[in-house]
Amino acid sequence: MADAPLHVVELARLSDTGRVRDHNEDRAYAHDELVAVADGMGGAAAGEVAAQLAIRAIRQLTGPIDRASLRAALESANTAIRNTAESDPTKAGMGTTMTAVAVDDGTAQIVHVGDSRAYLWRDGRLRQLTDDHSVVGEMVRRGTITPEEALHHPHRNVITRALGADPAVEVDTSVEELRDGDVLLLCSDGLYTEVDEPEIAAALAGAASINVAARTLVDRANAAGGSDNVTVVLARIGYGPQVGADRPDPSGTTQEHPILEAPREAAAPAIGARVLEPVGGSRRRLSRTGLLVGAAVLVILLIVGGAWWAVLRSFTIQSSGGTVWVDQGIKLGPIDLTAPWQDTLVPTTAVQNGSSARTLGSVGGEGATVRSAVSLVWTDGMPQIPTLAAAGSTKTGG
Ligand code: MN
C-alpha cells in the first residue's frame, strides 16, 4: 500500500423513522474517523435510550481508537444500559445493537453486536464485514436458509446478541485494510431488509456524493415499505484532507440526533382509537324532562361503545406456531371475540428459557399495548396468559 496516510475524507449520516413506526429508535454517530450505528429496542422510549447510551460510550472515546478501546466502550455501554434498566422499571428489557468502525492509519477497526451491519464498498462491489447476530443470520451461515429466504423469514427480527441483554456481552472484532476510494457503509436492518445489496451497490455507484447516496438509500427503503427505522452512515476513504474540526462538517455529524428526517405521513390511527371515550359523570347534567330518553340513549351508547372499546382494546398473549402471538379481543364465556392480531416473532422457546430472552426481537404495530403485553411475557416467562386492557376500558356497561 502507499505510504501516504489514508483518511476518512467525507462523511454522511442519515436516520429516518420510516413509514410504519411512530418513533425512531435508531441512533448514529459520524465524526472524524469514527462511525457507529445503534438500533435500540424496548418498550415506550426505552429503545432509543439504550441506543443513545451505546452511542455515548463511543463518543466519549479519546486518543487513538482501536478494537480494544472500542470493545471496552461497548462493554461499558452494556453495563450502563443494564444499570439504567434496573433502576427504571419502564426500561426493563431494553437493549440495542451496535456496529462501530474506527479508521486508524488506513485500517478499519470494527466492533459489532447485533444485526446492524458494516459493509465495504470497493470497485463497485459491496461486501459485508459483519456477521448478523440474529436467528436468521445464523441459519444463513449454517446454510439452512438462503440470504433471500432470510429477508422474509418470520423470525428475521429476532436477534441473538444485544447490548443490555446479559451481564457479559460477546463483542465481535475484526480489521480491514482500506484503499483509496473505499466507502464504508454502516446501516440498521431497516435498510437491508428493504433494499437488496445489488441495489445498495448501485445507489453508491450512481451517487454524486455520499450525502446524495445516503439520501437515495433512505428514500429507497421508504419506497419499498419503510417498515422499520432506517439509518445509514457512509465514510469515504482517500488521500485527501481528513474530515476534521478545521472546517464545518457539511453533514452536521457532530450532533448525536438524526439531522435529517424525511417528511413522514401521519401514522395510521390505532385500531380502536376512534371509539367513544368513557363518559363517566356526564349523565348528572341531564335535565329531568330529558332524563328518560337521555339516560336510555346514554346507557345504550355506554354498553355498545364500552363493549366495542373493550373488545378492540383487549389483547391476549398466546403461543401459536412456535412464536408468541398477541390476539385482539375478549372471551365472554362461550363467546370468543378474539382474533390473531400480531406475531411478536418472539419464539416461545426463547421466552420459556428465561430472562435472557427479554430483548430478543422487536415488536411492530400498535406500540405501547403490545409492548407492555410482550414485556409481561418477557418478565414473567409466561406463567399464565395475561389479558391486558388499555386504561379506560373497564366500563363495559355491565
Ligand atoms: Mn431496526
- Going by C-alpha positions, the residue among 67, 15, 86, 39 that lies closest to residue 262 is 15
CB atoms within 10 A of CB 41: 28
Angle (nearest 5°) at CA 226 between 26 and 327: 90
The one-letter amino acid at 238: G
Q: Which residues sit opposite 323 in a β-bridge?
A: 320, 347
The rounded Å distance from CA 398 to ligand 1 centre is 43
Q: pLDDT digit string (tens) for 297-321?
A: 899 899 888 878 777 766 666 677 7
111 is written with which cell numbers? 466492533
Ligand 1: centre distance to CA 282 (Å): 45
CA of 245 to the centre of ligand 1 (A): 31
CATH match of 7-258 with 3.40.50.450: no
Residue 385: band (very low, low, confident or very high) from pLDDT cuts 50, 70, 90:
very low
* Cα 172 to averaged position of ligand 1 atoms, centre (Å): 19
What digits encode the pLDDT tens for the residues 360-382? Answer: 334 444 555 556 565 555 444 44
CA of 373 to the centre of ligand 1 (A): 20
What is the whole-number distance in angstroms between the Cα of residue 228 and the centre of ligand 1?
A: 6
Instruction: Please tell me the distance from the alpha carbon of residue 258 to that of residue 256, in angstroms, as a whole number.
Output: 7
Confidence check: pLDDT of 106 > 70 = yes
Distance CA 52, CA 48 (A): 6
* Gap from CA of 39 to ligand 1 centroid (Å): 6
Is residue 80 within 8 Å of residue 57, measured between CB atoms?
A: yes
Give the pLDDT confidence score for residue 45 in this predicted structure: 81
Report how far ligand 1's centroid is from the alpha carbon of 230 (Å).
Answer: 7
Q: How far apart (Å, rounded) are the C-alpha atoms in residues 231 and 221?
A: 10
Within 10 angstroms of residue 69's Cβ, the number of other Cβ atoms is: 16
Whether the CB-CB separation of 43 and 358 falls below 8 Å is answered with no
pLDDT at 388 over 50: no
**How far does the centroid of ligand 1 lie from the alpha carbon of residue 174, in Å?**
23
Are 232 and 186 contacting, i.e. CB atoms less than 8 angstroms apart?
yes
Ligand 1 centre to CA of 74 (Å) is 19
Q: Bigger pLDDT: 205 or 271?
A: 205
Residue 162 has pLDDT above 90, yes or no: yes
| HSE value, Cβ hemisphere, 13 Å, CA-based, for 163 | 40
CA of 202 to the centre of ligand 1 (A): 22
The set of residues, in sequence order, having a beta carbon less than 8 Å from that of 130 and lying 6+ positions away, is: 99, 110, 112, 116, 117, 118, 172, 174
For residue 190, how far is its CA from the centre of ligand 1 (angstroms)? 5
Range among 105-119, 281-295, 322-336 with highest mean pLDDT value:
105-119
B/e letters for 326-364, b = 16+ CB within 10 Å, e = fewer, are bbbbbeeeeeeebeebbbbbbbbebbeeeeebbbbbbbe
Higher-confidence position of 234 and 105: 234
Task: Write phi, then psi, for 113 (nearest 5 degrees).
Answer: -145, 125
Rounded alpha-carbon distances, angstroms, from residue 276 to 46, 170, 284, 298, 351: 30, 50, 18, 12, 36
C-alpha cell at 285: 347534567
Centre of ligand 1 from the C-alpha of residue 112, in Å: 15
**Is the pLDDT score of 209 beyond 90?**
yes
Report percent pLDDT > 90 for the chain: 53
Q: pLDDT tens digit string along 20-55?
A: 999 999 999 999 999 999 999 987 789 999 999 999
Distance 25 CA to ligand 1 centre (A): 8
Query: Quick check: 330 pLDDT over 90?
Result: no
pLDDT at 242: 81
- Does pLDDT of 111 surpass 60? yes
Question: Using CA atoms, how far apart are residues 74 and 97, in angstroms rounded to an integer?
Answer: 10
Within the chain, all domains assigned CATH 3.60.40.10 are found at 7-258
Tell me which amino acid residue 12 is.
Answer: A
CB 33 within 8 A of CB 102: yes
CA of 359 to the centre of ligand 1 (A): 13
pLDDT tens for residues 170-185? 999 999 999 999 999 9
pTM of the prediction?
0.63
Residue 299 CB coordination number (10 Å): 12
pLDDT at 285: 44
